[in-house]
Amino acid sequence: MSNTHISASDLRATVARVVQAAGSSETEAQAVAHNLVLANLSGHDSHGVGMLPRYVDAVLEGGLIPNQGVRVTLDTGAMLALDGQRGYGQTVGEQAMQMAIDRARQHGSCIMSLAQSHHLGRIGHWAEMAVEQGLVSLQFVNVLSRPVVAPWGGADGRFGTNPVCIGVPLQGRAPFVLDFATSRVAQGKMRVAHNEGRQVELGYLIDPGGNPTTDPGVVVVPQPPSASGNLFGALMTFGEHKGYGLAVACELLGGALTGSGTWHREADTRRAVYNGMLSVLIDPARLGTQTSFESEALAFVDWLRQGPAAPGTDAVLIAGDPERAARAERERNGITVDAATWQEIVQAAAKVKVAV
């Protein structure tokens, strides 16, 4: 099997056909396709079109409901509590962020909670929507799917890859968009390494007994029976106890505070992935610091960029730069989808009677 090299527009059209055949309106299908392909363009293949088979399975199982909108559970102006009703994150996430942006413009800030959204994809996408409107945007997200990440000092997976995102507009420049999972590395990257027969660095993973390992298979395929009784190992958090603390904060803020729910049960085989997201949006103009914010932020970013590059690197970057560079390159040259992922997409399409 060989990789598939495809333009972003052809890939969008393929994804949209499959999503529509799985029951979504044309508008929703286009939104899902746009969002997933944008993740590939941004260099985050783990959150791109490779998610499509999972979405199709989740729809067929009934855990993901096409054509849902958000339900407002509380609205006090600058505070919004929303329920995604297990709809596509690409639809309910867009609606929720648009409402929060409007409120932040109106009131100067908005705290928006979104519960029970299906997978919200690349969280940076939502911060970028707010940043484009001149707003600062903070996101804390939990993931209800499979407990693949171990607590610091723990010997098994207890929660998901809980992402954090901070977007800050920079006057006249491309924004700062920090957006990462609190696991040391993405689960999808371990699947790829396992398929390619590669070992990974120590510090990424523990085996089912809680011991450090370099074998990515421990989080991909069930392991031989062991004393612990666990079938899988787990990913570790980034930054030791600090990343672990941030992962717990995501569960408490994105899961508990939003009403979306936290993870506290054994793994199951259901395919749906739910995200709870707490967003805080701030309009710097309304905080009264717009002038100094703009000049001080630019001065600091320039100061960073003027620093010498370490041996082996070309330049000091800020968060958001790698995604922008990937987009420019992949828009120009197309996207490569690895053979195993493409095969899974073909099979998912067949389940909803689409030939790819």
Ligand X SMILES: NC(=O)c1ccc[n+]([C@@H]2O[C@H](COP(=O)([O-])OP(=O)(O)OC[C@H]3O[C@@H](n4cnc5c(N)ncnc54)[C@H](O)[C@@H]3O)[C@@H](O)[C@H]2O)c1
Is position 216 an interface residue for ligand X (rule: CB under 6 A)?
Answer: no
Please, what is the minimum distance in Å from the beta carbon of residue 324 to ligand X?
A: 9
Please, what is the minimum distance in Å from the beta carbon of residue 94 to ligand X?
A: 14
C-alpha closest to that of 39 among 119, 150, 141: 119
Nearer to ligand X, 175 or 233 (CB): 175
Stretch that binds ligand X, among 68-76, 300-308, 314-322, 344-352 (CB under 6 A): 314-322
Which of residues 84, 216, 254, 320 is near ligand X by CB under 6 A?
320
* Six token digits for residue 8: 């972003």
> Exposed, middle or buried by CB within 10 Å (0-12, 13-18, 19+), for 340?
middle
Nearer to ligand X, 24 or 145 (CB): 145
Report the DSSP beta bridge partners of residue 74.
81
Which of residues 54, 122, 191, 330 is near ligand X by CB under 6 A?
122
Size, binding site for ligand X by CB under 6 A: 24
Nearer to ligand X, 66 or 124 (CB): 124
CB 65, CB 97: distance < 8 Å: no
Tokens 């997933």 found at = 36
Stretch that binds ligand X, among 3-11, 101-109, 114-122, 298-306 (CB under 6 A): 114-122
Nearer to ligand X, 14 or 260 (CB): 260
- Subset of 8-47 contacting ligand X (CB under 6 A): 44, 47
Please, what is the minimum distance in Å from the beta carbon of residue 273 to ligand X?
A: 6
Which of residues 12, 86, 103, 119 is near ligand X by CB under 6 A?
119
Q: Sort strands 109-118 and 79-83 into parallel, antiparallel or unpaired.
A: parallel
Please, what is the minimum distance in Å from the beta carbon of residue 28 to ligand X?
A: 18
Report the C-alpha gap between 233 and 248 in whole angstroms: 19
Is position 220 an interface residue for ligand X (rule: CB under 6 A)?
Answer: no
Is position 181 an interface residue for ligand X (rule: CB under 6 A)?
Answer: yes
Cα pseudo-dihedral 79, 82, 88, 92, rounded to 10? -50
Half-sphere exposure of 325 (CA within 13 A, CB side): 6
DSSP characters over 245-299: HHHHHHIIIIIIITTS----S--------EEEEEEEEE-HHHHT-HHHHHHHHHH
Report the C-alpha gap between 181 and 165 in whole angstroms: 9
Cα pseudo-dihedral 254, 317, 242, 116, rounded to 10? 10
Which of residues 128, 207, 323, 344 is near ligand X by CB under 6 A?
323
Phi, psi (rounded to 5 degrees) for 39: -65, -45
Which of residues 45, 179, 283, 344 is near ligand X by CB under 6 A?
179
Is position 186 an interface residue for ligand X (rule: CB under 6 A)?
Answer: yes
Nearer to ligand X, 66 or 276 (CB): 276
Which of residues 13, 79, 319, 356 is near ligand X by CB under 6 A?
319
Report the C-alpha gap between 265 and 125 in whole angstroms: 30
CB 171, CB 294: distance < 8 Å: yes
- Subset of 240-279 contacting ligand X (CB under 6 A): 275
Stretch that binds ligand X, among 177-185, 200-208, 279-287, 304-312 (CB under 6 A): 177-185
Is position 101 an interface residue for ligand X (rule: CB under 6 A)?
Answer: no
Which residues sit at the interface with ligand X, rule CB under 6 A? 44, 47, 119-124, 143, 161, 163, 177-181, 186, 275, 317-320, 322-323
